Amino acid sequence: MLMITAIILAAGSAKRMGTQKLLLPFGNCTIVECVMRVVKASELFDDIVVVYRDSAVRETAEKLGIRTAMNLNAHMGLSTSVIAGVKSCNADTEAYMFFSGDQPLISEEWLEALTNEYKKSKEYIIVPLYREKRGMPTIFPASFRDELLSVEGDSGGRSIIEKHREKVVFVKNDNKAAGFDIDTSEDYESALKIEILNKIE
């Protein structure tokens, strides 16, 4: 097992959705629970932490035996969840893999592909490319810890990726489902359709 901590960012307010999207039903669980289950089932990580604000998200994580970190400053942007997640990690963590709590269609196979790329390039930031668009989950080596703790606003780790483009490895995936995140009601309906098609196939 790699000394990677999986950090699931699940403290957003879902302003564009108008409701707590992470707790919407998706298959046999909720959106965020689907993410948690895939991450845990992959058995790729030395540790897993869910950054939350909603108590129901915390309860879901605890039910699965996943530890949590509360983010009281979530209203100040995604960066606060990144910081809360990194601060909660063990000192001997060699890398952080950041997940979005609204990507219920990620697969164990895709996580394995990304972590395998990290094994080959342990000093590099691993960034997925979905049809040429950057997305999550991303892997940051622990050497970027101080910079991750200094991010601001809603940029998350994007500013670090831009600053260190020579230290980034992009991993392409043209599967529509792999990087699908749910921001709107229309996205939610589309994701449900993809899930149904996946089950049929």
pLDDT of 14 reads 61
- The region, left, alpha or beta by phi > 0 then psi within -120 to 50, assigned to residue 65 is left
**Residue 199: pLDDT over 60:** no
Cis upstream peptide for 25 (omega within 30°): no
User: Which residues are registered as beta bridge partners of 138?
Assistant: 98
∠ CA 84-66-52, nearest 5°, is 35
- Under the phi-then-psi rule, with left for phi > 0, alpha for psi from -120 to 50, and beta for the rest, what region is 156? left
Q: Is the dihedral of CA 114, 67, 13, 144 positive or negative?
A: negative
pLDDT for the residue 20 = 82
Residue 198 is predicted with a pLDDT of: 59
Cα–Cα distance for residue pair 154/7, rounded to 1 Å:
17
For residue 200, what pLDDT band results from cuts at 50, 70 and 90? very low
Q: Give the residue extent of every domain in the chain.
A: 4-200
Q: Hey, which CATH number is domain 4-200, 3.40.50.10950, 3.40.50.2000, 3.90.550.10, 3.40.50.970?
A: 3.90.550.10
Q: How high is the pLDDT of residue 18?
A: 59
Closest to 81 in 3D by CA, of 102, 108, 106, 60: 102
CA pair distance 51, 74, nearest whole angstrom: 10
197 or 102: which carries more pLDDT confidence? 102
pLDDT (tens digit per residue) in 134-185: 999 999 999 999 999 999 988 889 999 999 999 999 999 988 788 898 989 9
Closest Cα partner for 171 from 137, 122, 145, 123? 137
Task: Report d(CA 5, CA 142) in Å as an integer.
Answer: 10
For 42-101, the pLDDT digits (tens) are 999 999 999 999 999 999 999 999 999 999 999 899 999 999 999 999 999 999 999 999
pTM recorded for the entire structure: 0.94
Give yes or no for a contact between 81 and 22, defined as CB atoms under 8 angstroms apart.
no
What distance in Å separates the CA atoms of residue 156 and residue 64, rounded to the nearest whole number?
Answer: 26
CB atoms within 10 A of CB 153: 11
